[in-house]
Amino acid sequence: MRPIELLCPASSLEVLKTAVIYGANAVYIGGEAFGLRANARNFSLKEMEDGIAFAHARGVKVYVTANIYAHNEDLDGVREYFRQLDQIRPDAILIADPAVFMIAREVCPGIDIHISTQANNTNWGTYNFWHSLGATRVVAARELSLAEIREIRDHIDSNLEIEAFVHGAMCMAYSGRCLLSNYMTGKDANQGECTHACRWKYSLVEEKRPGQYMPIEEDARGSYIMNSKDLCMIEHIPEMIDAGIDSLKIEGRMKTALYVATVARTYRRAIDDYLKDPGLYQKHMDWYREQIRSCTYRQYSTGFFFGKPSEEDQIYEENSYVRGATYLGQAQKIREDGTFLIEQKNKFCLGDSIEIMKPNGDNVDVTVTSITDSEGKPQESCPHPRQMIWIGVDGGTVDQYDILRRQEEAREG
């Protein structure tokens, strides 16, 4: 059987390390230019270098996104950027634009090139075209079914890898190429500045009746008419592998370490269980479902994989997420007495019951027994985001990279 890669996103060096520790075989990141997530924090060249070193030391690959559609004024900058990437040696560069592809071939010929889903990869002829130019992987268009991907696999070189999304947000535009953001806000989604206009709430206004908002549906005063559900294929790992997909990709390069850890850990176990014993995979299905619903998500569907989506794959009522857990922090340093340092993400208090999430799949319930600020002063709570604090807990041991979370009743918001 072909090796199956779990590919996870990272918005920062912290999240990259989390993805690596929690089960990714590869991580994709964006630099400070030429990627499609300009509003994400993204990586400086030094952070990229540190992240690549951290990942490579643990046998994990790092891919850098450079998948904008370039304009004339971008090309000189792309060339200089790729010269810099050639020095720090990521494992691949993700590209959509043919001009950017040719610059990469010229400037950093020793780095693999992966073709982004943005490039409209919907048939086996397109895959063979890119492979003939030197691409080592093509990302399947979001609009492909598993049957179509299987047919593509049957018509391409066995050395050409197929990557496909397995989990995360779905774009309402064809393969993510959208003009809504540009039209409404002047920020070009194809240049990395998407404002997610498809998630906004819309009502109808008649030209001669300004201020009168008319219902789009009979029973609503507004509607989320382009708001797609999130993709989740945790119940269909066998079908994705059988279709000939080499890399299962998690979407979410603007997500938190908690989100990435939760999704990576769940899919890592599901893939490993299935490859070991399909019966084991089915046995643990309830655990996968429970874990995948403990992170932030926007209801789930199977996207285009089993046919074209219907109205059941859209969310018309609201634009909020289901929140299963709150991210409190991640253990950075451990003292001999068992207390540990975190950068606090959300408020919690002395005496609270929280959960320690471990990379191996264990979730340990503990009680907060001490909170101390960076100057050694005891605190009753930690209300200030990004405060560095030392924590003590009762009921379990904490290791570096363990994540603290508080389970919430599933709610909208």
Digit-coded pLDDT (tens) for 6-33 = 999 999 999 999 999 999 999 999 988 7
| Distance, CA of 392 to CA of 234 (rounded, Å) | 35
Q: Which stretches of 72-179 are DSSP H helices?
A: 75-88, 98-107, 124-133, 146-154
* pLDDT tens digits, one per residue of 162-179: 999 999 887 656 566 565
Lowest mean pLDDT segment, chosen from 5-14, 16-25, 139-148, 252-261: 252-261
Distance (Å) of CA 111 to CA 68, 89, 92, 94:
18, 7, 5, 10
* pLDDT tens digits, one per residue of 37-74: 555 557 999 999 999 999 999 999 999 999 988 999 99
> Do β-strands 353-357 and 340-343 pair in parallel, antiparallel, or remain unpaired?
unpaired
> How many angstroms separate the most distant Cα atoms in the chain?
72
Lowest mean pLDDT segment, chosen from 147-151, 180-184, 204-208: 180-184
Supply 259's token pair.
């989100």
- Higher-confidence residue of 147 and 227: namely 147
Please report the pLDDT score of residue 173 as a whole number: 61
* Residue 341, CA atoms < 13 Å, CB-side half-sphere: 11
Q: Is residue 315 over pLDDT 70? A: no
Taking CB atoms within 8 Å and a gap of at least 24, the contacts of 287-292 are 288/234, 288/235, 289/234, 289/235, 291/262, 291/265, 291/266, 292/167, 292/232, 292/234, 292/262, 292/263, 292/266
* pLDDT tens digits, one per residue of 194-244: 666 665 666 667 777 777 766 555 444 344 445 578 899 999 999 999 999
CB 145 within 8 A of CB 307: yes
Residue 341's beta-bridge partner residues?
333, 390
369 three-class SS = strand
Task: Tell me the pLDDT band of 408, cut-offs 50, 70 and 90.
Answer: confident
Task: Tell me the pLDDT band of 324, cut-offs 50, 70 and 90.
Answer: confident
Highest mean pLDDT among 40-49, 312-321, 367-376: 367-376
| Distance, CA of 348 to CA of 31 (rounded, Å) | 33
Please report the pLDDT score of residue 406 as a whole number: 92
| Distance, CA of 301 to CA of 142 (rounded, Å) | 13
Average pLDDT rounded to a whole number, residues 364-378: 94
Supply 130's token pair.
């890119």
Taking CB atoms within 8 Å and a gap of at least 24, the contacts of 385-390 are 385/344, 385/345, 385/346, 386/343, 386/344, 386/345, 387/343, 387/344, 388/341, 388/342, 388/343, 388/344, 389/341, 389/342, 389/344, 390/335, 390/339, 390/340, 390/341
∠ CA 236-125-152 to the nearest 5 degrees? 20
Q: Which of 239, 259, 241, 258 is nearest to 250 (CA)?
A: 259
Mean of the per-residue pLDDT values of the chain: 87
Please report the pLDDT score of residue 368 as a whole number: 97
CB 62 within 8 A of CB 24: no
Count of residues in the chain: 413
Lowest mean pLDDT segment, chosen from 39-53, 107-121, 179-193, 311-325: 311-325
Please report the pLDDT score of residue 255 as a whole number: 86
